């Protein structure tokens, strides 16, 4: 074999080896793989019939570096709790006032005469000017306060860590508690698999508590006696799915409920009996596997969502044309 032939053979072998290495590298690059044989198709549950979406996002207020904690809307003003302050903001997004806080609140409720701020295991009651009137701790190491609601002089506190609702006066006197358990077999009491346990008092003075493990919204007397409930356990758009939904709840002046769900994040409106009225924001509006936005509504029905993942207040208004969302 001549020297020239040998050289050609060696060069061909080297070229072949380099080609194999390149083909192997390209073939195994992350974007050249086939379909996942173990895929769980979650996207199918994110699809929402556009005719059901009767709200559109009209504006939003990015919070920058501020850490969102809680939101409420009262008398046309937005009350936003961040890491160290309560910001009072106009619907146009202008900050009107700031009240210093000792930490990031878990829940805010504003009434005609009071602002109630709840931390993980502490309640602060301010007057409307921001003067602290009373403050107390819930003395239990498992306590995780997730929501508060006011009815006249009563304060209801949702304690997710102990799966109970506490009832206080506004100056901190404990009047009682209940866990939703009852003698009948209808229900297990509150099932709270995560720190998502919300409650509201509507304009008619009715206390409604989310039972997230049951996917139900339950109406209780002030003393904790179950008076009624509705349940929507379904993967369909009119139901709730997952471990603990609805994660957040708000109520409109007509008694309709605004629900916000975690994981498969979406916001919907139900009538007081549990019939789906509208989708406010479908999952495509939020990050995958995100946190449930906290929701609030003003007297005109405008819905404010505190998006924890995108760190912004998002404003949704009703539209007559479902296609223009």
Partner 1 sequence: MEKDKSIKRREFIHTGLRLALGFSLAGVAVAAGRKSTAEKWVWQIDPAKCTQCGRCATECVKSPSAVKCIHAYDLCGYCDLCGGYFKPGVKQLETGAENQLCPTAAIQRKYIEEPYFEYVINEDLCIGCAKCVKGCSSFGNGSLHLQIRHDRCDNCNECSIARSCPSDAIKRVPASQPYLIKGEFIKPLKG
Shortest spacing between CB 61 and partner 1, in angstroms:
27
Compute φ and ψ for 115, nearest 5 degrees.
-120, 120
Q: Per the structure block, which two tokens stand in for 2?
A: 């001549």
**Alpha helices per DSSP H over 37-114:** none
Interface positions, 89-118, toward partner 1 (CB under 8 A): none
Q: Which residues contact 243 (CB under 8 A, 6 or more apart)?
A: 193, 194, 212, 213
Interface positions, 161-190, toward partner 1 (CB under 8 A): 188
The one segment of 27-35, 75-83, 148-156, 249-257 that binds partner 1 by CB under 8 A: 27-35
Shortest spacing between CB 48 and partner 1, in angstroms:
16
What is the CB-side half-sphere exposure of residue 204 using CA atoms within 13 A? 11
Match 């999952």 to its residue by tokens. Answer: 283
By CB under 8 A, how many residues form the interface with partner 1? 27
CB-CB contact of 259 with 268 (8 Å): yes
Whether the link from the prior residue into 218 is cis, omega within 30° of 0, is no
Sign of torsion over alpha carbons 186, 189, 192, 196: positive
d(CA 208, CA 101): 28
39 interacts with partner 1 by CB under 8 A: yes
Q: Among residues 77 and 243, whose Cβ is nearest to partner 1? A: 243
31 interacts with partner 1 by CB under 8 A: yes
| Residues across the chain | 325
Q: Mask of contacts with partner 1, 222-261, x by CB under 8 A?
A: -----------x-x-----xxxx-----------------
51 interacts with partner 1 by CB under 8 A: no
193 interacts with partner 1 by CB under 8 A: yes
The one segment of 15-23, 24-32, 203-211, 308-316 that binds partner 1 by CB under 8 A: 24-32
Binding test (CB under 8 A) with partner 1, winner from 42, 47, 132, 175? 42
Helix (H) or strand (E) holding 4: helix 3-27
Interface positions, 270-289, toward partner 1 (CB under 8 A): 289
Binding site for partner 1 (CB under 8 A): 28-31, 33, 36-40, 42, 45, 188, 191-194, 213, 233, 235, 241-244, 263-264, 289
């Amino acid at each position: 074999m001549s020297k020239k032939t040998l050289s050609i053979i060696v060069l061909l072998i080297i070229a072949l080896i380099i080609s194999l290495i390149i083909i192997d590298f390209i073939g195994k690059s992350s974007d050249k793989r086939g379909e996942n044989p173990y895929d769980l198709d979650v996207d199918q549950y994110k699809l929402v019939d556009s005719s059901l979406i009767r709200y559109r996002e009209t504006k939003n207020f990015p919070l920058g570096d501020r850490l969102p904690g809680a939101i409420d809307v009262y008398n046309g003003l937005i009350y936003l709790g961040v890491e160290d302050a309560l910001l009072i903001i106009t619907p146009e997004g202008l900050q009107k006032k700031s009240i210093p806080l000792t930490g990031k609140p878990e829940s805010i409720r504003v009434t005609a005469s009071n602002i109630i701020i709840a931390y993980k295991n502490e309640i602060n009651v301010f007057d409307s000017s921001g003067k602290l009137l009373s403050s107390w701790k819930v003395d239990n190491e498992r306590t995780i306060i997730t929501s508060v609601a006011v009815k006249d002089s009563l304060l209801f506190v949702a304690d997710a860590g102990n799966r109970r609702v506490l009832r206080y006066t506004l100056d901190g006197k404990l009047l009682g508690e209940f866990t939703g358990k009852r003698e009948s077999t209808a229900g297990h009491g509150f099932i709270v698999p995560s720190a998502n346990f919300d409650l509201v008092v509507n304009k008619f003075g009715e206390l409604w508590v989310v039972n997230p493990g049951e996917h139900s919204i339950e109406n209780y007397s002030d003393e904790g006696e179950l008076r009624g409930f509705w349940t929507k356990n379904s993967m369909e758009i009119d139901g709730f799915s997952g471990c603990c939904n609805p994660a957040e709840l708000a109520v409109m002046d007509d008694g309709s409920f605004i629900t916000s769900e975690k994981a498969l994040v979406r916001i919907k409106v139900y009538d007081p009996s549990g019939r789906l009225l509208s989708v406010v924001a479908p999952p495509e509006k939020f990050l995958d596997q995100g946190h449930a936005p906290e929701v609030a509504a003003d007297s005109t029905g405008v819905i404010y969502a505190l998006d924890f993942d995108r760190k912004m207040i998002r404003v949704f208004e009703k539209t007559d044309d479902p296609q223009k969302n």
